Every structure is written in structure tokens, then in C-alpha cells.
Amino acid sequence: MGEQGTMEIERLYPLPNPDSQPYWDGLRDRRLMLQQCADCGSIRHYPRPVCDQCYSMEVHWIEASRRGTVHSWSVSHHAFHPSFKADLPTTFVTVDLEENVRLVGILRDPEVTLSIGTALQVGFEDAADGAFSIPVLFAA
């Protein structure tokens, strides 16, 4: 049991379904894949079955630019599960991608000074136990 606000939480793994499998497969193959509406062309994230602009359920997947800018960030000094302890402190960054959707990644570049609008690029790494791959971030 934790002190105030620090209760341990179960480790979570992605549970890909037909809507999200191409995203996770893409990360494993070192490609950032996003859903694009096959009817109106809107790009959406996180993956889901319906386009909220035109209600089409037809979708194709595009490979994203991997370029973006900082929208916000947070630096975790407490791991809410033991498997993340070795990685502390961990900087999680919310990035505005060029494709006009956002992505959360872990900053892996100690040289970056964060502020809103800082340019970053998306890279990839395998999660600690190799079960899946995640987006990470570097200076553009």
C-alpha cells in the first residue's frame, strides 16, 4: 500500500483488437501508423471504428511523418508499478503530430529542453519484457 495518492496499480499490456492491431504491428515494425477515413480523409487517433467527422466506418492506415511539437509533458518520479521503477524519472510528453493528432511517448533525449512548441521526432523501442513496442521521442 502506498502513502497518499501513490497506490500501486496493475501493469497493463495492450490488448489489440481489429481496430488497433495495425497500430501495434506498426510500432513493432518501426513505423508509426495512423487511421485515415477512407471517405473524408480525416486522420484520427486513438484508433476506433467510426469517423466522427462523416460517420464512415471505412478506414485505411497511413504511415505518419513522425514529426511533431510539444503540447505538454509530465515527469514521473514515482513508479505506480515496480516494473517502471528502473526508468525513473520518466518524462512523458504529449506531442502534436504534423498529422493533427496527438501521441504520448517517453522522452529519450536528455539534451532536449522542453517547452510548448519544441520540435521532436518519434522513434521506437521495445517495452522492457519485449512483449510490445512503444513510441519514444528525440530532438527533431
Partner 1 sequence: MSDGLFEKGAITGIGETAYTRGSGKSDTALQMEASLKAIADAGLSPKDIDGVVPYASGSTVAEDFITNLGLPDLRYSATTPLGGASCVAGIQAAVSAVATGLANHVLIPIGRNGYSGSRIGNRVQQMPQFRTIGEYEMPLGTLAPAQLYSHMARRHMELYGTKSEHFAKIAMNGRKHAAMNDNALRQAPMSLDDHQTSRMIADPLRLFDCCLESDGGAAVIVSASERAKDMVRKPAYIMGVAEGHPDSPSAITQRPDITTLGTAKAAPRAFGMAGITHSDIDVAEIYDCFTYIVLCQLEDLGFCKKGEGGDFVSSTSFGFDGDLPLNTHGGLLSQAHIVGMNHVVELVKQLRGDAGAAQVKGARIGLVTGYGDMGDGTVAIMRS
Got the DSSP string for 36-53? EETTT--EESS--SS-TT
Q: Which three cell numbers stand for residue 2?
A: 502506498
Q: Which three cell numbers stand for residue 23?
A: 497500430
Within 4-63, which residues bind Zn ion (CB under 5 A)? 37, 39-40, 42, 51, 53-54, 56
* Contact pattern from residue 21 through residue 60 relative to partner 1, giving x for each residue in contact according to CB under 8 A and a dash for the rest: --x---------------------xx--------------
> Which pairing describes strands 33-37 and 119-126: parallel, antiparallel, or unpaired?
unpaired
Whether 105 contacts 136, CB under 8 Å = yes
Q: How far apart are CA 83 and CA 124, in angstroms?
A: 19
Member of 31, 39, 69, 84 binding partner 1 (CB under 8 A): 84
The residues binding partner 1 (CB under 8 A) are 1-10, 12-16, 20, 23, 45-46, 71-81, 83-84, 87, 89-90, 92, 94, 101-106, 115-116, 127, 132, 134
The residues binding Zn ion (CB under 5 A) are 37, 39-40, 42, 51, 53-54, 56
